[in-house]
Amino acid sequence: MMSPESVQDWLDEHFAEVVARREVPGASVAVLAEGRVVTAAAGVLSTATGVEATTDSVFQIGSITKLWTSALVMQLVDDGLVDLDAPLRTYLPDFTVGDAAASAAITTRQLLCHVAGFEGDVFTDTGRGADAVERYLASIRDIPQLFEPGEVFSYNNTGFVVLGRLVEVLRGKPFDEVLVGRLAAPLGLTHVSPSPYEAIMHRAAVGHVLGEGGAPVPAPFWALARSNAPAGSMLAMTARDLLGFVAMHLAGGSGVLEPGTVAAMWQPQVKLPRLSGMGESWGLGWEMAEHDGHAVVGHDGGTVGQAAFLRVVPDHGVAIALLTNGGDVFGIFEDVLAHLLKELTGVTLPGRPMPPAEPEAIDPAPYLGRYADTITEITVGQDADGVIWLDRVPKGVIAEIGEKPLRIRLVHFDGDSLISAEPFRGIHPVFAFIGRDETGLAKYVHYGRVVARTRKGTV
């Protein structure tokens, strides 16, 4: 097994080369092992400015922010202010979505493990003021309930904004202030930046998207709306600070969370279908899996051209945070994070799903049709040669930030799951078709998020 010293030697020798080879503009990594943190950085924060990425540079952590929101919610539980299984309206009387019965029944636990069932990709911009999250809560009163609370896992950004509002109401302060005051400050973290106003005080990474020639170019703006901050729209920090937050969990809460609370957060709450790049189950905020007999927990995050990865092996006391601002982010994940995790713990992270060499011939009739949510329209069809195609058209904020329409050839993967025959951004996305209506058609397509069928029939 590698020591912290040998990890540092490996990073000094290889990290910059990997960043360049994977065409990642800039990246930062931190590794926690044997109670010590070693770090490295390489590349540039923006190809437009050429400013060098350093270990004290802040990158957006995207949806890894949900772990911070989860910790704030569990502090409320520790303080006796929230019962995870009581209706959320006990604490947020104004919480309402499009289904009255679901609105009255949804619990905090269901929000933490992504089974609340309402539309999860609502990115309404409610302004830059301290009331952005409060106004967001009022804006979702009519969003659709896709399935019964507790029925199925569907990754839900909207739900974590609701949790952010729960934190605001019970702490009496805006979400950003609570995050800094109850997590960053007690842990002595110096570069945690909940908005661009703090990030600009440090060396801040700019996200990159693919330009017309295929090379990464600076994204058209730095962050998404403040209203989605509790879900991960703008929180930035150094890789070292992210591991400072993780170290608190590995130490059993360190006075920030009560003894036993971390263990409860790392208990599986809901199992997931096999999907690209996601774990086997979800805990209270945390993504979870078991590999080589060891629990591995973590989360990934993506914002406008930035991608972040966090993996923790609790029984080894090892954690790795990798922050990037574009390029082949899955490639650098394999070359750096997965490699070092194996060297430090013996745990091999499974490769991402691959299409079978000889896919089984299937009848795709139950899967064909149209599916839609607020950011995506998906059509699954079959051509005259029997080839199955999935067309995904972005809309709303996803289209605004430059996401392009996608056409994918699908083949059978496993059960009611199909997989992309060709790679897309370094992975083969898996699409699970779940539920059946009275005619035998799939109700939903699941690729981490559940998207509901919009009308019956085939195309």
Give catalytic residue positions.
63
Query: How many Cβ atoms are within 10 Å of 87's Cβ, its own excluded?
Result: 15
Please enumerate, as own/partner, the contacts of 2-7 that have beta carbons within 8 Å and a separation of 24 or more. 2/33, 2/340, 2/343, 2/344, 3/33, 3/34, 4/31, 4/33, 4/34, 4/36, 4/38, 7/31, 7/33, 7/38, 7/340, 7/343, 7/344
Residue 393 DSSP code: E
In degrees rounded to 5, what are phi and psi of residue 210?
-75, 130
∠ CA 34-298-162, rounded to 5°: 135
Burial class (CB in 10 A: 0-12, 13-18, 19+), 391: middle
What is the rounded CA–CA span in Å between residue 65 and residue 192? Answer: 11
Written as six digits, the tokens of 387 are: 């080839």
Tokens of 392: 């995904």
Residue 377, classed as helix, strand or coil, is strand
Cα 12 to Cα 334: distance, rounded to the nearest angstrom = 17
CA distances from 347 to 81, 128, 251 (A): 38, 43, 21
Nearest partner of 226 among 295, 312, 303, judged by Cα: 303
First to last CA, the chain: 54
